[in-house]
Chain A
Amino acid sequence: MVYRRLFDLPAFRPRGSFQELDNMRRQFDRLANLLSAAPERSAGAGVFPQLNVTEDVNKFYLRAELPGVRSDALDIQATGKTISIAGERKISEEDTNARYHRREREAGKFSRVMALPSDIDADRIEAKLENGILTVMVPKAETAKPRQIRIN
């Protein structure tokens, strides 16, 4: 017998009744999120630091804002197609006589992994840390660069 399903797309029939309820709950959760909270601007992984990834024909560029992090406190590794950036941000402790009026900056460890969409040439990766902005330039592998195809 054909029956209309109110919530789900026509798909596999759920095995047992609990899965239907699960699906319903998920749909309602999504609806509730849409209606209540303002949509978050960043759709990132929710992990510090936030990255901006751009590309041109030859390279990928990863940028992160890391004010107050020294280059010796950073550890950047490349494995396969992923780049991992880890480190620690330290805030110098002032002497105990200091009275804080405001304390907004935070210190601590961070670690972030970013998978790039094409093959990379790991031997020629360059990174620089200037004015608190980390830029990692990852050259693409030769096979991953676009190749012009001529038509005879």
Chain B
Amino acid sequence: MVANDTKELKIKEKQEVSTPAEQTRPGLVFTPLVDIFETEKALVLLADMPGVRPEDLSIDLRDDTLTLTGDVQPFEGADEKDLLIEYEVGKYHRQFALSEIINQEKIDAQIQNGVLCLTLPKVEKAAPRKITVQAV
């Protein structure tokens, strides 16, 4: 991939997703864009979820499936009239199947500027140790 920092950003249309279960409240659901990368000690997931506050985010990890759901408040005030609408607003939802062994106790989630940073530390393998042999 060409790493070019000065290129212009292009528009990516938000992808709608159909959730496996039907929603109880009507509204659009979008897939947030994510970056997933793995370091030695952890799996890090960064997701673009603009408009999601920390209290609106729910992260669920069970049966090796990670589910991210973010609620978004409607942005318009009651008196506003629309002049130009180029993007829709809706919840964010995405699921991943995790293959690494994750230490579930130490999952760390932070959301800042609309970007979720989820750190999933891997289970520490036993440190190599020497075994002393005792003469009997």
Q: Which of A60, A69, A129, A132 is packed against the most chain B CB atoms within 10 Å?
A: A132
Is there an interface contact between A50 and B11, defined as CB atoms closer than 8 Å? yes
Determine how close the nearest CB of chain B comes to the CB of A11; give it in whole angstroms: 30
Q: Interface readout for A85-106 with B: 1 if CB under 8 Å, 0 if not?
A: 0000111001101111111111
Determine how close the nearest CB of chain A comes to the CB of B47; give it in whole angstroms: 8
Is there an interface contact between A68 and B115, defined as CB atoms closer than 8 Å? yes
A67 in contact with B115 given A107-B5, A109-B9, A110-B8 (CB within 8 Å): yes
Residue B84 lies at the interface, judged by CB distance under 8 Å to chain A: yes
Interface of B is mostly: loop
Binding site for B on A (CB under 8 A): 41-44, 46-57, 60-61, 63, 65-70, 89-91, 94-95, 97-111, 117, 129, 131-133, 135
Is there an interface contact between B75 and A48, defined as CB atoms closer than 8 Å? no
User: In the bound complex, how far is the Cα of B33 from the Cα of A15, in angstroms?
Assistant: 52
A-B contact pairs, 22 of them (CB 8 A): A42-B13, A43-B86, A52-B84, A53-B84, A53-B85, A54-B80, A55-B80, A56-B77, A56-B81, A65-B50, A67-B49, A67-B113, A69-B113, A91-B35, A94-B44, A95-B39, A99-B37, A101-B36, A103-B1, A109-B7, A131-B114, A132-B114
